[in-house]
Amino acid sequence: MDTYLDFLQNHQEQKDLYPSIEEYRLLEESQDGEGNTHQLFYLSYKKVGFISQRDFVYYRQIRRVSPVSCFVVSRSVPDIQDLVAKQESIVRGDMITSGTIVT
């Protein structure tokens, strides 16, 4: 589990693995009293073929459910999209929901 969580935190390793990623950065991070991690990210992808360049502003929560497992849930946060100015040449993507159970 910790190896996967380390990978999630290593943005350069993800950019190396997925060369279509143009920018990936953490905007905010906090921990709550239960040991859960709350993160806000900006992610943009390069234009690939006929698909226009895309970017996302999304929230991710890592919730530990036991010492050896956790849930990782992500979704776009449309009401705070203005944290990162939208560029006219880039399509703002919408991540409805994404989740992983890590054991």
- Per the structure, the complete domain to which residue 89 belongs is given by 2-102
Q: Give pLDDT, residue 81.
A: 57
pTM above 0.85, yes or no: no
In the chain, the number of structural domains is 1
The pLDDT profile of the chain, 103 residues, written as one tens digit per residue, is 788 888 888 989 999 999 999 999 999 999 998 889 999 999 999 988 888 999 989 999 999 999 899 999 999 987 665 667 777 788 888 888 899 999 8
Query: What is the spatial distance between Cα 23 and Cα 44, in angstroms, rounded to a whole number?
Result: 5
Question: What CATH number should be reported for the domain holding residue 82?
Answer: 3.30.530.20
Q: Give pLDDT, residue 94.
A: 87
